Amino acid sequence: MNRMVSSSRRGYVLLLALFVLALAAAAMAGVCRMSLEKAVQAGRAEADLRRRWAVLSCRAVLLPKAEDILRGGTNSVAEVRRSVRLNGHSITLVFGDEQAKANVNMLYAQSGLSGAEHEVRAIVATAGGGVPVELRPIPGRGKSFGTPDAADDDPPAFESFAQVLGQTSPQQLLAIRRTASSLTSSMTCWGDGSLNLRRASNESVRAILAGHLAAGEISRLLHAREKNPKAQIEEFLDGLDLPPARRDPVENLLTDDSSCHSLWIIDDSGARIEYDLAFAEGGVVTLFSW
């Protein structure tokens, strides 16, 4: 009888020991899982911090130099791309001259909603299409945009690409298409509306001047620019032999100097791609992130 009781007690102790070991193993597994999660979170936080410092550094140092970088390019273009490695990340920088692009606010002020949409569709079609065109101006804005008597209380009707191209992704906006240019190199919502004739694409020139010059006159202007890209704007217009009533509005739309620039910062960490966009004009910087 005593032997049976002793054997029963030993069996109970063994079961209790196994139960305690199972509890300890489960607790240790939980602790390990929590530690692993915290390590992953810490790694993500560190990577995010490094990315933000990289973006801030690029923006602070390089955005003010956008004009110099554009001038240093081999061709007179509205966009210049550079690739760098920073903090272990592959970063693509896209410097832009916003006054070398067709300004949707100017198109809207000149031609109304239907006219602006027509020109935007023409730019998108030339770039290869594939993105939605949906102009959604802010009501009551932008009717006097770009005019000498523009009121301070009449801000632009379009303040982002989302108001023009719907939910088009940054990848689509920046994609090099069959014309070897992107949508962002021919279209903008920023700047004062004047067009830098030295850098603007043919599509941008046609869009901005369509309401003032005939198609043949625009073609002659573009041909003259191709033959002598360093000529002054006055020389190009002299070749069109326009009367003052037609020449003055065209001359007011064109410039050979720019004061609004942009910088896309595309950060490819391998796990994901993040996009940051900054516009600088008159000391004011506008920021977007995706």
pLDDT at 283: 87
- Which amino acid, one-letter code, is at 88? G
pLDDT at 47: 66
pLDDT at 52: 80
* 100 DSSP assignment: G
The strand pair at 79-86 and 260-268 is best described as unpaired
pLDDT at 159: 95
Residue of 256, 108, 103, 63 lying closest to 191 (CA atoms):
103
**Within 63-87, where are the H helices?**
66-71
Mean pLDDT by 10 residues, the chain (290 residues): 57 73 77 72 66 86 95 83 83 95 97 96 87 94 81 84 94 73 91 95 96 96 94 95 96 95 90 91 91
pLDDT at 271: 75
pLDDT at 29: 77
Q: Which residues contact 235 (CB under 8 A, 6 or more apart)?
A: 224, 228
**Cβ-count burial 2-31 (b if 16+ within 10 Å, e if not):** eeeeeeeeeeeeeeeeeeeeeeeeeeeeee
DSSP class per residue in 198-244: TT--HHHHHHHHTTTS-HHHHHHHHHHHHH-TTS-HHHHHHTTT--H
CA–CA gap between residue 258 and residue 255 (Å, rounded): 8
CA–CA gap between residue 242 and residue 192 (Å, rounded): 25
Are the beta carbons of 128 and 178 closer than 8 angstroms? Answer: yes
pTM over 0.75: yes
Task: Look up residue 175 and give its two tokens.
Answer: 């994609």
